[in-house]
Amino acid sequence: MTSSISLNIKNLQEAVTESHIDNLKPMITAAHNTLHNRCGAGNEFLGWLDLPTNYDKAELERVKVAAKRIQENSKVLIVIGIGGSYLGARAVIEAMTGPFFNSMDEDKRKVPAVYFAGNNISSTYLSQLIQLIDGKDFAINVISKSGTTTEPAIAFRIFKEIIEKKYGKEEAKKRIFITTDKAKGALKKLADTERYETFIIPDDIGGRFSVLTPVGLLPIAVAGINIDELLQGARNGRENFSNEDVHRNICYKYAAVRHLLYERGKTTEILVNYEPCLQYFGEWFKQLYGESQGKDGKGIFPASVNFSTDLHSMGQYIQDGMRNIFETIINVEEPQINLSIKEDEENVDGLNFLVGKTIDFVNKRAMEGTALAHVEGGVPNIVINMKALNPKALGELIYFFEKSCAIGGYLLGINPFDQEGVEAYKKNMFALLGKPGYEELQRSLTERLGD
């Protein structure tokens, strides 16, 4: 099947060659077999692997119906969640609609604005969001496996009170949508008691792999994005990236190249975009790789930048700083919208030599020139080309990164699907807040803080 994306590794030069990749083939094959035979660490969380073909079709239809209902009765959807419960949805929505989506006039946008809460503990952020939606009809989508994660739980408590006061408890129930565990947890219990419409977070899919489940699909559908095409793109990826031969599978080749660069001391990967709408895709990428591969003292540090913007800030460090960096560039070959540069008689800015050229032409030359400069400065470059930015291509790109991340984790010899390190801050926070059951830890932390 023709792929919407391609991989270009020519700017790795001598850092990684085809012969280096050949030498890694046995490890790639072993990782492939471990993943597909479901016999490796974390194998109970491989539901995402076949999700593009094995999803619950009846639930998908319910997602579409709920999205339509929200579109008809609300001007705003508040999505409450943190980490994988919101990053994937936000990444897709911003990639498809652009950074100004929520600011557009309602008659031009034609669907609700989508705002996110519960991803921080800032009272200022919550207060400003509450002010923003004042007087507007709104709905809430709460996404949490347990319902007790501090950040979203606080946000839901606040917005639940507001929505019930605005509409009354019975009407509010029709505007609250819960995405949670199918059988257990505080949020599931509340949803059953209050009879909120509920969607399932599959047991075998971790949060950072959940964007193509109702976790991401409901907010994405509310924003007017075609979720059938998104899933079709993921199905294409599942087929295109199924071959165990690293030379015929660009997903595996990307995993192999990352691993080889890591072995050569390149311990930081910067995901680069030249389209501002992909900023939150970079945030999703950072969680996917950071939580999956950063453990046991191993792993590449994932970062992201927006070029050419960050060339005027981070560019100096990338060009001349520590040589532990490599870059992965997402190149969108055809922009969603293009503009041409017109002649100015006075030519004060000296840009008349560009008359008739498109802004995307200038952007592509900036990308090529920057890549050459960075490679000459000792920063290897990988390029992922996308023919166009649309739901189908984005679905394939999501699957590309998810599977490559899993293969890369097995190459490192770690479990790519757990995240025990995330729990450390939570325990300390609960203790310092005085949560029952954490008294001993609270005393220890208090002594360390000198209180």
> pLDDT digit of tens for each residue in the chain (451 aa)?
799 999 999 999 788 999 999 999 999 999 999 999 999 999 999 999 999 999 999 999 999 999 999 999 999 999 999 999 999 999 999 999 999 999 999 989 999 999 999 999 999 999 999 999 999 999 999 999 988 899 999 999 999 999 999 999 999 999 999 999 999 999 999 999 999 999 999 999 999 999 999 999 999 999 999 999 999 999 999 999 999 999 999 999 999 999 999 999 999 999 999 999 999 999 999 999 999 999 999 999 999 999 999 999 999 999 999 999 999 999 999 999 999 999 999 999 999 999 999 999 999 999 999 999 999 999 999 999 999 999 999 999 999 999 999 999 999 999 999 988 677 788 888 877 788 888 888 888 888 888 5
Q: Do domains 5-39+239-412 and 51-225 have the same CATH topology?
A: yes
Q: Residue 420: what pLDDT?
A: 81
Q: Is 291 a catalytic residue?
A: yes
Q: Residue 118: what pLDDT?
A: 97
292, 405 contact by CB (below 8 A):
yes
Q: Which of 94, 275, 291, 396 is catalytic?
A: 291
Q: Is 151 a catalytic residue?
A: no
Q: Residue 451: what pLDDT?
A: 56
What Cα–Cα distance (Å) separates residue 185 from each residue in 179, 188, 211? 12, 5, 21
Q: For residue 330, give the nearest of 7, 3, 2 by alpha carbon.
A: 7
Instruction: Count CB atoms within 10 A of the CB of residue 413.
Output: 11
3-class SS of residue 270: strand
Instruction: Count CB atoms within 10 A of the CB of residue 325.
Output: 22
How far out from the chain centre does Cα 14 lie?
31
Reported for 297-303, long-range contacts at CB under 8 A and 24+ positions apart, including other chains, are 298/412, 298/413, 298/414, 299/412, 299/414, 300/258, 300/261, 300/262, 300/266, 300/267, 300/268, 300/269, 301/267, 301/268, 301/269, 302/269, 302/271, 303/268, 303/269, 303/270, 303/271
42, 425 contact by CB (below 8 A):
no
CATH of domain 5-39+239-412: 3.40.50.10490
Q: Which of 184, 357, 426, 427 is catalytic?
A: 426
Rg of the chain over CA atoms, in angstroms? 23
Q: Residue 419: what pLDDT?
A: 84
Domain ranges of the chain: 5-39+239-412, 51-225
> What token pair was written down for 434?
């005085």
- Tell me 39's DSSP state: -
CA distance 298 to 411: 11
Domain 51-225, what fold?
Rossmann fold (3.40.50)
Residues ≥6 apart with Cβ < 8 Å to 85: 118, 143, 144, 152, 179, 207, 210, 215
